[in-house]
Structure 1
Amino acid sequence: MSMPDLNLLVTLNVLLAEGSVARAARRLRLSPSAMSRALARLREATGDPLLVRAGRGLVPTPRALELRDQVAGLVHGAEAVLRPAVRPRLEQLVRTFTLRTSEGFVENFGPALIARVAAEAPGIRLRFMQKVDKDSAPLRDGIIDLETGVVDEHAGPEMRVQALFRDRYIGVVRRGHPLSRSRITAARYAGSRHISVSRRGREKGAIDEALAAHHLSRQVVTIVGGFATALSLARQSDLIASVPERHTGNLRDGMHSFTLPVATPAFTISMLWHPRLQADPVHQWLRECVREICGRKNGKAAKQGGRTA
């Protein structure tokens, strides 16, 4: 069975509304002959004359009157489907978004993000999932809606990406720690006892590579899975926690932070989402919220470079 020409629905809707081939032709910007041919096709498709001569004009048949409201509804529905989505009223929404982030992201940016969402859309709930790997399958399968982190080769090539902020590693010790009272050299830093942060339990990373360039190595006495745990240990001991600066801003209150005495590469924290959510108006609003919260610095909005891929 061949597919009917759905464009004929638009033509039929205008013909039934106008009751005139000439007026319908002007409205659709067609020639009278083209409109007459379209009416002939409609008669063939429906098996009904639809419009018949009555004096000097045309009148609809009973079948045409039966179809008029139905056709108008179909055309208006199609127009609505093909029209750009309009953001619904946020205060009336009931929806749950799942975000996969690091422990530090939730603890540092989570409170402000939750407050911002609650103020505009109290029916929206945020579910935070811990990031145990960088597999893009949960984004692709719709298990999670948004992810934050460093983009690498594990990210699916189809994912949309936007940079949120640049970050760097710093050292953090308790107030009164010997390193808080004098200049910190690479040798003094390496000679202290350290906490290593690694979800996978790795002992060495970029900091150790930077120290190795100076023929130094640090003594890692414990390995933990998150920044908050590392800072909690450092707050109550003489251990050094080396953590991302922006990720841990709210967690380092009352502690002494310092620039690392060796150069380590800065890195970009981005958010990722699947292309199917690109045009969703509520997801667009959520991304705006995340961008705004992550763009704040010292209570004010900070400009952050970024691109959408």
Structure 2
Amino acid sequence: MKPLDLNLLVTLDVLIQEGSVVGAARRLNLSTPAMSRSLARIREAVGDPVLVRSGRGLAPTPRALALREQVRNVVEQAQAVLGAFGQDVNLATLERIFTLRANDVFVGGFGGRLREHLRRYAPRTTLRFVSEGEHDSGALDDDADLYIGSVQKFGADIKVQTLFTTNFHGLARSGHAIFHGAVTPRRFAAYEHIGVSRRGRSHGPIDEALAEQGLSRHVALITPTFYAAIFALADSDLILPAMPGHLLPGVKRLGLDLRAFDVPIDMPAVTVVQAWPPRLDSDPAHRWLRQTIKQVCSDASEAADAAL
């Protein structure tokens, strides 16, 4: 059996991120010809072009996109193993405030579980959540350790890891008339909606999807957070049209008389990531936090899927 060259995984990871042989060579301190030879070896090993010419750069093939997350995880695990030598952190005595920039959707779905994990393994640490702010593009333009939220256009130097993907469901009080028949697009649009927007917007992807079917809706109430919207549902005939699925188990624990339903229009799933600046990439405590968040999100997402 031909021995594996794990350096090719690191090279493939950087090539997919950069979309450029020159850019990947620069990041790995290699010459452009050396990087081209590595790409040729990767193509032979994978049995796929991996990257193909697109405009002035290179674009990943469907096969490369399918491998991207798996390759990233393997590289991160290898880096964690190698980085642990001589860089162990004593979690039991670690005193540190971790600042996470995230919205209430993440805090409500995972904040409690995450803090419980830190209490068990790093009891002297503090977990501090701050809001996303007015402009997503500035999510890491401060002293936050991590940005957690939907995929944004980060700078080329920002490290990004996928945490989970969530789908959307409708939510209304159990006795709502929407449950008296099939939830069609027309019936879905007929009832007054709650909009959730920290900027107070009333128009969004739902309206565009309805407009494609010649329908429109009335957004009668706009709240800045999903949790404010949830408590407004129990005493009204409003419906919440797009509740993140991973929050539904938490809604059930609140004991409110609410019921979920499938949204009858196309609602693309949202991918949630964690992103951090390069200055923290090799920090052992920060690395441990990232790995912990990844595991907590994976466990909680599996539980949410089982509950639906």
The answer, yes or no, to whether TM exceeds 0.5 is yes
Matching residue of 1:145: 145
Secondary structure at 1:92 match in 2: coil
**What are the within-5 Å matches in structure 2 for residues 107-186 of structure 1?**
107-135=108-136, 137=138, 139-141=140-142, 143-153=143-153, 155-186=154-185
Matching residue of 1:61: none
**Distance in 1 of aligned mates of 2:125 and 2:242:** 31
Runs of 4+ in structure 1 deviating by more than 6 angstroms, as ranges, are: none
Note if contact 2:133-2:139 (Cα within 8 Å) is conserved in structure 1.
no
Note if contact 2:198-2:223 (Cα within 8 Å) is conserved in structure 1.
yes
Secondary structure at 1:239 match in 2: coil
Instruction: Mark the CA change 1:175 to 1:85 in structure 2 (over 3 Å): closer, same or farther.
Output: farther
Out of 282, 291, 295, which is 2:294 matched to?
A: 291
**Distance in 2 of aligned mates of 1:259 and 1:138:** 32
Question: Following TM superposition, by how much is the alpha carbon of 1:239 offset from its aligned partner in structure 2, in angstroms?
Answer: 0.5
Instruction: Mark the CA change 1:187 to 1:85 in structure 2 (over 3 Å): closer, same or farther.
Output: farther
**Distance in 2 of aligned mates of 1:192 and 1:138:** 35
**Distance in 2 of aligned mates of 1:247 and 1:298:** 6
The count of corresponding residues between Structure 1 and Structure 2 is 219
Question: Following TM superposition, by how much is the alpha carbon of 1:169 offset from its aligned partner in structure 2, in angstroms?
Answer: 2.1
What amino acid is aligned across from residue 201 of structure 2 in structure 1?
Answer: R
**Distance in 2 of aligned mates of 1:167 and 1:290:** 16
**Distance in 2 of aligned mates of 1:218 and 1:292:** 39
Instruction: Please provide the CA RMSD for this pair.
Output: 2.2
Indicate the structure (1 or 2) with the bigger Cα radius of gyration. Answer: 1
Gaps of 5+ in 1: 1-81, 303-309
Question: Following TM superposition, by how much is the alpha carbon of 1:264 offset from its aligned partner in structure 2, in angstroms?
Answer: 1.7
Question: Following TM superposition, by how much is the alpha carbon of 1:179 offset from its aligned partner in structure 2, in angstroms?
Answer: 1.5
What amino acid is aligned across from residue 89 of structure 2 in structure 1?
Answer: P
What amino acid is aligned across from residue 172 of structure 1 in structure 2?
Answer: L
Note if contact 2:164-2:301 (Cα within 8 Å) is conserved in structure 1.
no
TM-score by length of 1: 0.66
Secondary structure at 1:139 match in 2: coil
Secondary structure at 1:123 match in 2: coil
Mean alpha-carbon deviation: is it higher for 183-192 or for 230-239?
230-239
Aligned residues with identical type, % of pairs: 37
TM-score by length of 2: 0.66
Note if contact 1:227-1:248 (Cα within 8 Å) is conserved in structure 2.
no
Note if contact 1:148-1:271 (Cα within 8 Å) is conserved in structure 2.
yes
Report Cα offsets for 1:12-58 as digits up to 9, x if no partner: xxxxxxxxxxxxxxxxxxxxxxxxxxxxxxxxxxxxxxxxxxxxxxx
